[in-house]
Chains A and B, each alone.
Chain A
Amino acid sequence: MSPSNLNDDASPWYQVITGQDGPCIRLTGSYTLSALDRQLRKVAAKLARFAAQSDLYWDLTGIQQMDHAGAVLIWRAWGRRRPAHLLIRPEQERLFMHLEKAHPAPKPVRRDILWPILTLGRRYFLFWDHLLGIITLSGLVLLNVFYLLKHPRQIPLREISANLFRTGAQALGITALVGFLIGIVLSYLTSEQLHTFGADVFIVNILGMSIIRELGPMLAAILVAGRSGSSMTAQLGVMRVTEELDALTVMGIPHSLRLVLPKIIGLGLAMPLVVLWTSAIALLGGILAADLQIGLNFQYALSSLPDAVPVANLWIGLGKGVVCGMMIALIACHFGLRIKPNTESLGEGTTNSVVTSITAVILIDAVFAVVFSNVGLKIPR
């Protein structure tokens, strides 16, 4: 019996006949999910109508095949109890016995009416929870540093170098591309403006100042937060899902020492180098664009750069790099270690990690701007 030649008025599912004891409904055909398919609801509705007649005899022995879906369908048509008159095969009997004693599904948890307030409150506490977690983790890492100072042979050099390569060397391409393009755009926009005032030479000051002090470090930090931060969180998260973190714990290897510390040190070392690289490429792009746009001499630009930009700005930029790098790694590890062993939590944790670390990077930038507000800005004449 294939589902295609089932047709409504032929009613291949049942026949109503009049037996010796009164009206009798004989179920026929295959009561399986694949056979019922699209007809399922229609059949269920019809059977339910028959079940309303209390004196009807039900004969299930004519059913060729009945699977769980078919049994549930008939059972529900009966209103979850056996009809008074029922003829049934032993194996079907077993199925219905299962259905009789099957537990009702536990009710899904209903939403509280106060959920907006509850959510808000939970968010608030979650924020402090995260803050506390990050502080705790940094404390742990600090303790690890002291421990390693006493036991220098246990310094995880291999992991640090691997992180240096992954977060530093492999990030050079993308940071160079973005830096170069931003440099060109910046130079292109400002050089025209300066040209109209005849102040062409100040392009070097503008480019140097903005790129070395602000744009270079920020671009690099945001790119690295998106690139390396997310991969660190995902790595730790997957290790949680596959119970690798637990395996490390039972081997007596603390996560903070073997996983977190190398990442923080690695990124803390790699970040200033990436910042330097990004700034250099962005400056190059800017000067090249200015060369094409307003005919700025390349040699002149390079030689006047040290006069235009006090060297303190470079140190500030590199300092931002170190702090941002360590912060990104710390935040990424914090979120990675908090991931619960399921895929949804993994995705959520990675998103939160990237969003938080980019926010943190911008906050750090603001703090640097306030703290160093009178360093490196005055140009000695």
Chain B
Amino acid sequence: MASDCIIEIEGLHTHFGSTVIHENISLNVYKGEILSLVGGSGSGKTTLLRQMLGLETPAQGSVKIFGYSRYDCDFDLLKSLRNRSGVLFQQGALFSALTVFDNIALPMRELHCLDEEMIRDLVMLKLDMVEVAAQHANKMPAELSGGMIKRVALARALALDPELLFLDEPTAGLDPALSESFVELIQALRQELTLTIVMVTHDLDTLAAISTRIAVLADQRLVALGKLADIIKIDHPFIKDFFLGKRGQNALGKLLTHS
């Protein structure tokens, strides 16, 4: 169904200098699904995410979001598309000159249709959702711990209740309890809203808990794409190492004994 396709990537090639990162990658992301991107460190997951966001241009191939390629967007359209998607960067990318509160309030203020009272309530709600205590609201990003930066960045990504979320390693640097509540948060959000998520993660528990489909990047290509149960049956060295190693067996225990 073409209308349900939120992101379409076709024949994408990327290289930095002479290093080839992606070779002929085609990938569709459908409405309402959670697509997890996995791959070894340096396999180009972040780069692929940045290309979906229009921050980098692939050497070849096309990337369409909500049916529009970045080049047939005028300013207003681009702005409204950007408002429909939220991004969590790998390093958080909080504005270092703004407090936690202002960081989350910024995208809301940019809409110019919310009053300050409402923004205050919304920000506190978001902080509550990601389990950051209210007393941290007036801190600067430099005064936060690594995990707190991640959670505040997630709150900022969720600020406008986007229908499309890009998450680059959302649970890296969180303790297991917080990772668990991240999973719950995403599941709760998905009950209320049709949320599409593209997520990069190495965290097998999170991966198993929430992803509807998994895309595996290895050897510059998309070596597998599908449900977790199907992926682990594929015979590829990276998939074997990633899912069927010691850690994988612990995390996916039940699924593996079934198959």
Contact = CB atoms under 8 A, between A and B. Distances in A.
A331 B240 CA distance: 58
B134 interface: yes
B142 A341 contact: yes
A148 B97 CA distance: 39
A108 B114 CA distance: 19
A95 interface: yes
Nearest to B123: A105
Given A106-B134, A108-B138, A34 B121 contact: no
A94 to B, nearest CB: 6
A341 B135 contact: no
A263 to B, nearest CB: 25
A105 B99 CA distance: 13
B125 A68 contact: yes
Nearest to B160: A33
Contacts of B194: 65
Interface in A40-86: 40-41, 44, 65-69, 71-73, 75-76
A40 B120 contact: no
B134 A72 contact: no
Given A65-B192, A342-B140, A342-B142, A40 B114 contact: yes
Contacts of B124: 102-105
B157 to A, nearest CB: 13
Contacts of A98: 125, 128-129
A65 B195 CA distance: 11
Nearest to A40: B113
B206 interface: no
Contacts of B160: 33-34, 69
Interface string A231-253: 00000000001000000000000
Contacts of A9: none
In this complex, the interface size class of chain B, counting residues with CB under 8 Å from chain A, is 35 or more
Contacts of B121: 72, 75-76, 99, 102, 105
A344 interface: yes
Nearest to B122: A72
Given A92-B192, A103-B134, A68 B126 contact: yes
Given A75-B121, A106-B138, A38 B113 contact: yes
Nearest to B191: A91
B161 interface: yes
A33 B96 contact: no
B3 to A, nearest CB: 14
A343 interface: yes
Interface residues of A, number: 39
Interface string B83-106: 110000000000111000100000
A76 B97 contact: no
Given A33-B160, A342-B96, A101 B138 contact: no
A101 B160 CA distance: 21
B58 interface: no
B120 A342 contact: no
Contacts of B122: 68-69, 72
A352 interface: no
A342 B141 contact: yes
A94 B188 contact: yes
Interface string B105-141: 0000001011101101111111011000111011011
Most buried by B among A33, A41, A108, A344: A33
Most buried by A among B96, B117, B138, B141: B96
Nearest to B97: A344
Contact of A69 (B140, B161, B188): B161
A106 B137 contact: yes
B137 A66 contact: no
A105 B101 CA distance: 9
Contacts of B234: none
Interface in B140-179: 140-142, 158, 160-161, 163
A89 to B, nearest CB: 9
9 contacts: A41-B115, A69-B114, A69-B161, A105-B101, A105-B121, A106-B137, A341-B142, A342-B142, A343-B96
Given A33-B161, A75-B121, 18 more contacts: A67-B161, A67-B193, A68-B126, A68-B129, A69-B114, A76-B117, A76-B118, A103-B134, A104-B124, A105-B101, A105-B124, A105-B134, A108-B138, A109-B138, A340-B142, A342-B97, A342-B141, A343-B97
Interface of A: 32-34, 37-38, 40-41, 44, 65-69, 71-73, 75-76, 91-92, 94-95, 98-99, 101-106, 108-109, 241, 340-345
List the 9 shortest-distance A-B pairs measured between CB atoms, nearest first. Answer: A67-B161, A103-B134, A344-B97, A342-B96, A341-B142, A105-B120, A91-B191, A102-B128, A72-B121
Interface of B: 83-84, 95-97, 101, 111, 113-115, 117-118, 120-126, 128-129, 133-135, 137-138, 140-142, 158, 160-161, 163, 188, 191-194
